[in-house]
Amino acid sequence: MNIIKSIKTTTSCGPDEISTNLLKINEEYIEAPLSYIVNLFFASGIFPSALFSTKIVPIFKKKGSREDKNNYRLIALTSAFSKVIEKMFCR
């Protein structure tokens, strides 16, 4: 639960369509199943490739023409579960 609490709260979703805000709201319900699943990942040495996927979203820089692609920056949105698992692995 400490790891879920430590992640920045956002409403944006990665490829799994789950935000960190949703994880935090439901942390008491997902803590045990998530711990079990993560322990299986660690025991098997296999990290699901689906959690490696990233959603790239262009964000307008608020200046210049919206027609010019140089006025956008790219944001990479990763899976909320992937963030939790990476932090668990680091600890």
Q: Give the pLDDT confidence of 28-69 residue by residue, as tens digits.
A: 998 899 889 888 988 998 888 878 788 899 999 988 999 999
Say which residues have a Cβ less than 8 Å from residue 80's Cβ, sequence separation at least 6.
7, 13, 14, 16, 18, 19, 20, 22, 23
The whole-chain average pLDDT of the chain stands at 87
The strand pairing partners of 76, in sequence order, are 56
Q: Per-residue pLDDT tens for 41-51?
A: 889 988 888 78
Structure tokens at 26: 């439901």
Looking at residue 33, its amino acid is P
The span from the first CA to the last CA of the chain, in angstroms, equals 13
